[in-house]
Amino acid sequence: MESDTILALGLGLSPPWHLVGQRLDTTVNPHILHLDVAADRGSLFACPVCGRACKAHDFTEFTWRHLNFFQHHCHITAKVPRTNCPDHGVLRIGVPWAREGSQFTLLFEQVALTLIREMPVLAAARIMATTDQRLWRIVKHYVGKAVEGLDLSSVSAIGLDETAAKRGHTYVTVFIDLDRKDKPVVFVTPGKGKDTVTQFKNFLLKHGGQPGRIVEVVCDMSAAFIAAVGEVFPNAAITVDWFHVVKLFNDALQKVRRAEARRTRMPKALHWAVLKRADGNLTEAQSEALAELESSDLLTAIAWQIKEKLRWIRKADTVQAARWRITSFLRHAREILAEDAILDPVRTALNTVEHHSQRIIQRWESTHSNARLEGLNGLFQAARARARGYRNTATFATMIYLIAAQLGDFFKST
């Protein structure tokens, strides 16, 4: 098989396009393989609007960066015609190997997106010998096009949570379709709180969804989120995910521990030990720290015992059992709390649980949770850490879509 035929097959060329020349430029480093593509003389071309076969009006030469040929960079050059359609006038046609306006082939862009899912854009740019700005333009084009085409007409249960975009209390709020098993992210917006829920409602309407069809929302105990959901999705039951209940008491416990550590000696290795199960995967030092804590009269021990009691609630197998256990938990916890102000964070946590008890109990009636969203937050933060941060929240939102949204066929020609 001749080399021209091999290269043409590799490029996926079909009539009227074919390979007419090739040369390797060794005067530059890295070397560049130039491939010249042309259409058969006298060919007719489809009008970009109506598809009518038309003669070429004129030609302009374009060059695209393609995937490397072995260790050599590869550039494709072709004279692309404008058609002269009787109905739509003179228009530039598209070529099958690249999208309109891009200086890269579709295969190059496909590989770029695959790399960017797994590594920082700057690292992918170094591998592909281009600039990170050019790769970001590729990502934003495909993600923007795919998000614009999302169909949300079947969405009936959503989860939402904020995740840090960068230091300084800058966040984005992520919304997921709880019924999607894979790539569940459907909307990402800068900020957190009430406005983000309204923005999602507008996005939902734009993409075929209906606020009245949303029957469940899983979120944390943020007053802003809960108030907004009640207004925007009046038919939805609000479920407080169990993860946030545990986090509430873990945070309270750490506040108690830090406050008490300022006035008395604390067991070593206690910082991480109190966040683990007493019968869990503890190091020897952590086991010794918990044993010392349990035998002490420290206020941190009381906070830890209350936090551990959550496991008893979690094991309830019916709604009625969960309701009774939460009531018993609140009563018992308040009975053993000392009057010391150091324990105020625990009192606040107990009041919060009492206020949201019905929404917490809803998790026993629901088949949904925010566990996947919490897991995805780890992926988002790992991507942010690998990239050493993103310039702005819009860029971070684009990366979240790329990682965890169902964006369909990225590489369909526009």
What is the average pLDDT across 356-379? Answer: 88
* pLDDT of residue 118 exceeding 50: yes
Count Cα atoms within 13 angstroms, Cβ side, for 248: 22
* pLDDT of residue 376 exceeding 50: yes
Distance in angstroms between the alpha carbons of the first and the last residue of the chain: 33
| Beta-strand pair 185-190/216-219 | unpaired
* pLDDT for position 281: 81
* pLDDT for position 3: 60
**C-alpha to C-alpha distance for 107 and 35, rounded to whole angstroms:** 15
Q: At what angle do helices 299-308 and 319-336 cross, to 10 degrees?
A: 170
* pLDDT of residue 269 exceeding 90: no
**C-alpha to C-alpha distance for 156 and 209, rounded to whole angstroms:** 9
* pLDDT for position 369: 82
Distance from the Cα of residue 283 to its chain's centroid: 34
What is the average pLDDT across 115-136? Answer: 92
* pLDDT of residue 60 exceeding 80: yes
The CA–CA distances, whole Å, from 3 to 14, 19, 22, 65, 108 equal 16, 10, 9, 20, 21
Q: At what angle do helices 106-118 and 132-148 cross, to 10 degrees?
A: 90
- Note the pLDDT tens digit of each residue in 291-321: 899 899 999 999 999 999 999 999 999 999 9
DSSP H stretches of helix in 192-318? 194-206, 223-232, 242-261, 270-273, 284-294, 299-308, 310-314
The sign of the CA dihedral 248, 250, 253, 254 is negative
What is the average pLDDT across 44-51? Answer: 93
* pLDDT of residue 143 exceeding 90: yes
* pLDDT for position 411: 47
- Note the pLDDT tens digit of each residue in 384-414: 888 888 888 999 999 999 999 987 655 444 4
For residue 30, is the peptide bond before it cis, meaning its omega torsion is within 30 degrees of 0?
Answer: yes
pLDDT, the chain, mean: 90
Contacts of 393 (CB under 8 A, 6+ apart): 165, 166, 170, 171, 172, 190, 191
* pLDDT for position 373: 85
* pLDDT of residue 1 exceeding 80: no
What is the average pLDDT across 140-168? Answer: 91
pTM of the model: 0.84
- Note the pLDDT tens digit of each residue in 169-212: 789 999 999 999 888 999 999 998 899 999 999 999 999 999 99
Q: Under DSSP, is residue 356 helix (H, G, I), strand (E, B) or coil?
A: coil
* pLDDT for position 375: 87
* pLDDT for position 259: 94
* pLDDT of residue 279 exceeding 80: no
**C-alpha to C-alpha distance for 332 and 326, rounded to whole angstroms:** 10
Structural domain boundaries of the chain? 3-97, 242-365
**Which is higher by pLDDT, 367 or 188?**
188
- Closest by Cα among 110, 99, 130, 103 to 402: 110
* pLDDT of residue 42 exceeding 60: yes
**Which is higher by pLDDT, 391 or 264?**
264
Query: 78 pairs with which residues across the strands?
Result: 37, 62
Residues 97/105, Cβ–Cβ less than 8 Å: yes
* pLDDT for position 44: 92
- Note the pLDDT tens digit of each residue in 205-253: 999 999 999 999 999 898 889 999 999 999 999 999 898 999 999 999 9
* pLDDT of residue 366 exceeding 70: yes
* pLDDT for position 117: 87
